[in-house]
Amino acid sequence: MEHTKTIDTGHSEPHFDTKPIWRTFWILLGITLFELLLATIHIKTDGRFPPKLALNGMYLILTCAKAFYIIAEFMHLRHEIKNLIMTVAIPATLFIWFIISFLWDGGSYRDLRNRYDRHHFEQQQVKAPPAEGGEGHEPAAKKPGTPE
């Protein structure tokens, strides 16, 4: 970043070789395949391994890793100057509050409603009628109380 001119047309930047691009591609593909593998193991073990909560945690971490590689390498943000990185990164931290508070609020609403609106809670326990058509080939009926 030794330029002093206003518009950086990039002719003198040697960092745009294609090697990191392909490396990023393989990382993204690998992470996606790993997520698929986790999901397959989870289905094959009838949801016992990995436990759903741990599985979701891993999905979220892997998703953030993919997002990082796309933004940093494909969108090239990692190679911009700090001013630009911060002007994007600092507002994005609002998402931390945004996610925690809204999910918490949703969970709290569910708990309060289940406690004080018994009718709603009982309605939610009613089983759906068996689905028509292609849904009839289930190997076994789902056990009640299977984690969501």
Partner 1 sequence: MAQMAPAGTKWWSGGKSPFNVEYGKLMMWYFLMSDAFTFGAFLISYGSIRFATNGWPDPNEVFRAFPLLEGMNLPLVFVSLMTFILIASSVTMVLAVAAGHNNDQKSVTKYMILTIIGGLMFLGCQAWEWTHLHGEHAWWGRNPFPNADGSVATTNFTNFFFTITGFHGFHVFSGVIINIIMLIKNLRGDFAKRGHYLMIEKAGLYWHFVDLVWVFVFTCFYLL
Phi (first) and psi of residue 143, to 5 degrees: -70, 135
Q: How far is the CB of 71 from partner 1 (least distance, A)?
A: 7
When asked if residue 16 is in the footprint of partner 1 (CB under 8 A), the reply is: yes
When asked if residue 91 is in the footprint of partner 1 (CB under 8 A), the reply is: yes
In the region spanning residues 52 to 81, those forming contacts with partner 1, defined by CB under 8 A, are 56, 59-60, 63, 66-67, 70-71, 73-76, 80-81
Single out the residue of 22, 23, 33, 28 nearest to residue 65, CA to CA: 28
Angle at which helix 82-92 crosses helix 94-116, to 10 degrees, equals: 10
When asked if residue 144 is in the footprint of partner 1 (CB under 8 A), the reply is: yes
When asked if residue 21 is in the footprint of partner 1 (CB under 8 A), the reply is: yes
When asked if residue 140 is in the footprint of partner 1 (CB under 8 A), the reply is: no
When asked if residue 4 is in the footprint of partner 1 (CB under 8 A), the reply is: yes
Task: Retrieve residue 95's tokens.
Answer: 């998402």
Task: Retrieve residue 10's tokens.
Answer: 């990039």
